[in-house]
Amino acid sequence: MDRLITLKSRAIQAPVGGSVDYSEDFDFLGTAWSNILSLKKGPIFFDGTNVAKQATHLFQIRYRDDVASEIWVELDGNNFDVLRVEDLEERHQFLYLWSVKRGPASTEVNQV
C-alpha cells in the first residue's frame, strides 16, 4: 500500500429559501494508504436506480467500519465515485473499493 488517498462523504442539503437547487459538499472522513489497480475493462455495477456504471479503478485499503458505497475517493486531485465496497473474505482486514473515475475534483460536474 503505497498511495495515500482521501476518503470523503458527499453531503446533500435541501434547498434554502426560494432556491430550487440542492447544495452539495464533501465531508472529510480521513486518509488511507491504498493499493490501486487501473482496470482496462472492469465489472459493471447497477446503482439503486438501475443505472449501469463500469468500474475503472480498484482501491485496496485496510478495513474501516465507516466506509460504504456512498463514499468518494480523491487521489492526485481526481474524484472517484465508489460503486461497491467488498470486505475481502469477510475478515474485516481489507476492503476493495470498486470505483469509477469522475475527473478533477475542482470541476463541479465531477462531484455528482
**Segment 50-74, tens digit of pLDDT:** 778 889 999 999 999 999 888 999 9
Which carries the bigger pLDDT value, residue 111 or residue 105? Answer: 105
What is the spatial distance between Cα 104 and Cα 102, in angstroms, rounded to a whole number?
7
Chosen CATH of 3-111 out of 2.40.10.270, 2.60.34.10, 3.60.150.10, 3.90.1280.10: 2.40.10.270
Can you give the pTM of this predicted structure? 0.82
- By the 8 A CB rule, do 3 and 33 touch? yes
Query: Pairing between strand 71-75 and 57-62?
Result: unpaired
Return mean pLDDT, the chain: 87
When pLDDT is cut at 50, 70 and 90, the band that residue 110 belongs to is low
Q: Which residues pair with 46 in a beta bridge?
A: 52
φ/ψ (deg, to 5) at 37: -125, 120
